[in-house]
Structure 1
Amino acid sequence: MGKLEKICVFCGSSDGNDPQITQAAVELAQTFAQRDITLVYGAAKIGVMGTLAKTVLDNHGEVIGIIPQFLKKKEVAHLGLTQLITTQNMHERKLQMQEVSDGFIALPGGFGTLEELFEIITWLQLGLHTKPIGLLNVNGFYDDLLQLLETMVRKGFLSMKNYEMLLVDTSVEKLLQKMTEFRPPRIPQWLKPERT
Structure 2
Amino acid sequence: MSPVPGRRVCVYCASSSYDPTLLEIAADVGDAIARRGWSLVSGGGNVSMMGALAEAARAGGARTVGVIPEGLRVREVADTSADELVVVTSMRERKREMEERSDAFLTLPGGIGTMEEMFEMWTSASLGFHYKPVVLYDPVGFYTPLLDWVANLAEQGLVHKEAFDCLVVRDDLDAALDACGGRR
> Shorter chain as normaliser: what TM range?
over 0.9
Q: Unmatched 5+ residue regions in structure 1? A: 184-196
Measure the CA separation in 1 of the matches of 2:43 and 2:179.
Answer: 24
Secondary structure, aligned partner of 2:140 = helix
Normalised to the residue count of structure 1, the TM-score between the two structures is 0.87
Q: Which digits, 9 at most, give the CA deviation of each residue in 1:87-130, with x for residues without a partner?
A: 11100110011101000000000010001001111111222211
Contact preservation (8 Å) 1:107, 1:138: no
Measure the CA separation in 1 of the matches of 2:164 and 2:120.
Answer: 14
Q: Which digits, 9 at most, give the CA deviation of each residue in 1:108-166, with x for residues without a partner?
A: 00010001001111111222211001001131101101101110110100011110110
1:78 corresponds in structure 2 to 79
Alignment of 1:71-110 (within 5 A): 71-74=72-75, 76-110=77-111
Structure 1 residue 178 displacement after superposition: 2.5
Q: Please say which of residues 173-182 and 115-124 is displaced more in the overlay.
A: 173-182
Q: Does 1:175 align with 2:176?
A: yes
Measure the CA separation in 2 of the matches of 1:57 and 1:178.
Answer: 22
Contact preservation (8 Å) 1:124, 1:131: yes
Contact preservation (8 Å) 1:21, 1:139: no
Measure the CA separation in 1 of the matches of 2:50 and 2:60.
Answer: 16
Measure the CA separation in 2 of the matches of 1:74 and 1:106.
Answer: 21
Contact preservation (8 Å) 2:11, 2:108: yes
Q: Unmatched 5+ residue regions in structure 2? A: none
Measure the CA separation in 2 of the matches of 1:46 and 1:9.
Answer: 14
2:10 corresponds in structure 1 to 8
Query: What number of residue pairs does the alignment pair up?
Result: 182
1:37 corresponds in structure 2 to 38
Alignment of 1:157-172 (within 5 A): 157-172=158-173
Letter aligned with residue 11 of structure 2 = V
Give the structure with higher Rg (CA).
1
Q: Please say which of residues 174-183 and 100-109 is displaced more in the overlay.
A: 174-183
Letter aligned with residue 166 of structure 1 = L
1:119 corresponds in structure 2 to 120
1:23 corresponds in structure 2 to 24
Over the aligned positions, Cα root-mean-square deviation in angstroms equals: 1.7
| Residues 82, 164 of structure 1: alpha-carbon distance in 2 compared, 3 angstrom cutoff | same
Percent identical pairs in the alignment equals 34
Measure the CA separation in 2 of the matches of 1:59 and 1:181.
Answer: 22
